[in-house]
Structure 1
């Protein structure tokens, strides 16, 4: 698309990327091993959205890394290496998912009125600015809790369980954005999502996690 072309034309690679790419082209095993360690957990989460089992997802990740090795000579740097790797991954995962009869209809995710899928009112999240997507106020009785409880094992466990219970797409988006710290653009590129769909999916995931956390905190205070 014209917008993608313009974005790629203005793209500036992150510091150190050129050296990593050159090392990969030389067949540097340490550089490749470091990348595998850094990205494979995220790649597995993404692949898991498209295929039926963890075992198949692991095969997809392995195939993607083979694609990275064989294709690095053609990497032109119009997008980040990270984005390029995840595009390879999602293309392979989609093909495997379609072969299995499993597909994720991203285009139909989000935006429908009355689907009952939002657990917390959208007004409780900020829409714009530096803190877009964050809560406008803390969960009920949050201020009454000692700091050690907020970061304690039980509270963390509630959040982890709430995330684990989310649908595949929501779980992956909130994990990439809020736990691994990916930017909105990185998630959109990796998962081939529109800005609107990514925002709605993330809001739904965050709202369910917040609802679970509020329920836990309210129960602790009663």
Structure 2
């Protein structure tokens, strides 16, 4: 059985696993054997199906050890990228792989940035200046008051009104976007 399985998979160890899996499948499905063929033929049919499935699965995956090319003697990733043999998850990534940014997320982010910038640009000059300094430059209220010679109350009113108009523009954009989806 191991020799037959070896014709479909890459190593003897995997062929032995396939043979074991075949015996488990035979025991689990023995009540489904109908006798239309010999028991040996039925068992070897299960074996070949298991081996083919395992062989296809193996071809779809690439072991990290095969990422080393003939030209280089170093692995494709530094060894500390993976847990070592003493760790419970030996061979697995030591750090999670960062999430991929989807192109549409990037486009929406850029588009939203443009919506916000247009909304800020349409604000009256005093509101635009306060919003730009507070939210764009991360200045404190005291710094903005001193820079523009405004009272704290006036700065708060200008900031509140400016943010409210920007928020309304963003809400309108989100509603239009929701209608398209």
Task: Output the TM-score relative to the length of structure 2.
Answer: 0.40
The one of the two structures with greater contact order (alpha-carbon pairs below 8 A, sep at least 6) is: 1
